[in-house]
Amino acid sequence: MARHFLNLADVGCAGLRALLDAAHARKAARAGWPQGRVDGDAPLADHVLAAVFEKPSTRTRLSFDIAMRQLGGATITLAAGDMQLGRGETVGDTARALSGYVDAIAIRANRHADVQALAAEAGVPVINALTDWSHPCQIVADVMTVEESLRSSVAGLRWAWLGDGNNVAHSLIEAADLLGFELALAVPEGHDPDPALLAGSRGVHVTRDAAAAVRRADVVVTDTWVSMGQAGGAAKMAAMAPYQVTAALMAKALPHAVFLHCLPAHRGEEVTGDVIDGPQSRVWAEAANRVHAQKAILLWALGRL
């Protein structure tokens, strides 16, 4: 049976810890190497990944491709609009066909239900590279970046999320449960995360007060106020305005606190330029760590962890 990575909960506590440890170890083992050099053990030699994108992508597309090359494998990148999927072929038929050609499928999809349907019919592992409901790959890189920056496990730390209760926030809630860190989500009314997910979580709470969420935080995280494919509008922008991450807000966090953003960022909207370009920002390390996170996810999905 294929080992799918649709949400962090699929991995479990021990699995996520093993995955993070593998990401750290593989990054350390190739320090100073050219990006195109294959890891010494080439664990995915002769393996092929199909990377399917219904939405635009910079970091996810590049990081999966570089990850496969470093693991010794190859990637075929497909735009959904250029496939038969874009002309009405069912998700199930696409899943069965791709399973005959490649060893794993990573997909960035408009609807989480489509990724679930793909996994249900695929004979190879399916990796969720972002849906409207979750973004587990991003949070693996985020946790890895915090552990590097603060030189500690994230267990017991306090994270603050500012802005929309969106797909990235959903995966962060799952990570908080699995890894044992506190999470305060400062979101405007009407933009809360999934209530069922919140109801089953521990150490996670929602507040309308941005300053209260950030107070004594080790990590401050935000995302664009209008995600890809969402309708924006003045009303949503106005609702989000009190949750902008500014230098004054960061000053309420702990002195060692780091700032994360999954990118692309809109300076002057969800974050000010002096924060994202300032000394507490770790967004570029976070983006680079996507490669090491994807490598660990691929190894887990293909039964190598």
Query: Exactly one of 132, 164, 262, 294 is catalytic; which is it?
Result: 262
Does the annotation list 216 as a binding residue?
no
Does the annotation list 60 as a binding residue?
yes
Does the annotation count 274 as an active-site position?
Answer: no
Query: Exactly one of 4, 108, 158, 170 is catalytic; which is it?
Result: 108
Query: Exactly one of 65, 69, 132, 138 is catalytic; which is it?
Result: 138
For 50, list phi and psi in degrees, rounded to 5. Answer: -95, 120
Q: Are 53 and 302 in contact (CB under 8 A)?
A: no
The DSSP secondary-structure symbol of 281 reads B
Query: Exactly one of 142, 223, 244, 292 is catalytic; which is it?
Result: 223
Query: Exactly one of 135, 158, 282, 292 is catalytic; which is it?
Result: 135
Does the annotation count 205 as an active-site position?
Answer: no
Q: What is the DSSP string of 8-74?
A: GGGTHHHHHHHHHHHHHHHHHHTTT--TTSPPTT-TTTT-EEEEEESS--SHHHHHHHHHHHHTT-E
Does the annotation count 135 as an active-site position?
Answer: yes
Does the annotation count 215 as an active-site position?
Answer: no
Does the annotation list 13 as a binding residue?
no
Does the annotation list 134 as a binding residue?
no
Does the annotation list 83 as a binding residue?
no
Does the annotation count 261 as an active-site position?
Answer: no
Nearest CA-CA partner of 98 in 111, 110, 107, 87:
107
Other CB atoms closer than 10 Å to residue 200's CB: what's the count?
A: 13
Does the annotation list 71 as a binding residue?
no
Nearest CA-CA partner of 102 in 43, 48, 44:
48
Read off the tokens for 71. 């693991």
Does the annotation count 13 as an active-site position?
Answer: no
Please give the annotated binding residues for L-ornithine, written as ranges.
167, 223, 227-228
Which residue numbers are catalytic?
A: 108, 135, 138, 223, 262, 290
Please give the annotated binding residues, written as ranges.
57-60, 84, 108, 135-138, 167, 223, 227-228, 262-263, 290
Please give the annotated binding residues for carbamoyl phosphate, written as ranges.
57-60, 84, 108, 135-138, 262-263, 290
